[in-house]
């Protein structure tokens, strides 16, 4: 059972100013074929940006590229400060192997690996931070459960707790609210808002335009390339959304 606690996200162990991320005509794709092309712009430190667009628009591909999972086909990404060490990524839940026998507490504790290292024992401070993170997402009583037995919403809460422990100034999330109930979405959105209030940069791939309009001041609208990037109210116009759909339909016709 999950109980919403609305506890603030755990305090960072080593606060670092959020990095500026600059995209310079960057393109990413698979086997040399671009999925997203020529994207330029800046994610300012401490900003909160939604990445939206039709299916196949290159949203997830762009996030993986920013994280360094994919090499650019062209252009480059610059991450100021500590570089990509200051980035934390929450991938799509469908990309995770749920068969691995790990407890919820162990899954969350993986967020501290960058500080602790893979072979050192976790001290009292880190163990306390793990428990704080579990409480923050409403899983305080489920730490000993095998992670693979959690419901979709519970697993997403655990992944959010792991993300909180990474002490990253920039959080990148790929469809963090897909296939979870509205109650879970509300709780996790509150945590993201709290992270933003702490000065972290938040970048999230999303499909719910009402959620974007309510919580994200900035939006990047993609359709294989940039359709619009700026203040959410200026980006999510009917004209821009129609243009994105038309551009994507055109590219699919070329395929």
Distance CA 149, CA 249 (A): 39
SS3 102: coil
Q: What pLDDT sits at residue 119?
A: 58
pLDDT at 112: 84
Residue 181 sits in a domain of what CATH number? 3.40.50.300
Domain contains 8:
no
With respect to residue 143, please indicate whether it lies within any of the assigned structural domains: no
Give me the pLDDT at residue 206, please: 97
Residue 174 lies in a domain: yes
The average confidence (pLDDT) of the chain is 88
End-to-end CA distance of the chain: 47
| pLDDT tens digit sequence for 57-103 | 999 999 999 999 999 999 999 998 767 788 999 988 766 777 788 99
Mean pLDDT, to the nearest integer, of 107-122? 77
Q: Look up residue 139 and give its two tokens.
A: 């899983």
Query: Quick check: is 204 in a domain?
Result: yes
What local confidence, expressed as pLDDT, does residue 67 receive? 93
Residue 99 is predicted with a pLDDT of: 77
The tally of domains found in the chain comes to 1
Q: Residue 61 is part of which domain span?
A: 21-95+167-254
- Residue 122 has what pLDDT? 77
CB contact at 8 A, 156 and 2: no
């Amino acid at each position: 059972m999950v109980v919403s606690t609305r506890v603030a996200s755990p305090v960072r162990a080593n606060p670092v100013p959020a990095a500026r991320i600059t995209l310079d005509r960057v393109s990413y794709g698979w086997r040399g074929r671009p999925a997203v092309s020529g994207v330029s712009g800046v994610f300012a430190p401490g900003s909160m940006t939604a990445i939206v667009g039709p299916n196949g628009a290159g949203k997830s591909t762009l996030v993986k590229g920013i994280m360094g999972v994919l090499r650019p086909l062209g252009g480059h990404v610059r991450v100021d400060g500590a570089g990509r060490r200051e980035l934390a990524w929450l991938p799509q839940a469908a990309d995770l192997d749920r068969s691995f026998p790990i407890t919820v507490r162990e899954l969350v504790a993986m967020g501290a690996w960058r500080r602790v290292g893979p072979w050192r024992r976790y001290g009292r401070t880190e163990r306390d931070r793990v428990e704080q993170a579990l409480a923050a997402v409403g899983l305080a009583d489920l730490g000993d459960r095998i992670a693979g037995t959690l419901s979709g919403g519970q697993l997403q809460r655990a992944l959010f707790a792991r993300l909180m422990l990474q002490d990253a100034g920039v959080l990148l999330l790929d469809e963090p609210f897909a296939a979870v109930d509205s109650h879970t979405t509300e709780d996790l959105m509150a945590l993201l808002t709290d992270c933003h209030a702490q000065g972290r940069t938040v970048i999230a791939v999303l499909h719910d335009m009402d959620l974007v309009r309510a919580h994200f001041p900035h939006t990047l609208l993609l359709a294989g390339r940039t359709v619009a990037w700026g203040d959410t109210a200026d980006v999510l116009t009917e004209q821009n959304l129609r243009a994105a759909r038309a551009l994507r339909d055109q590219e699919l016709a070329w395929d």
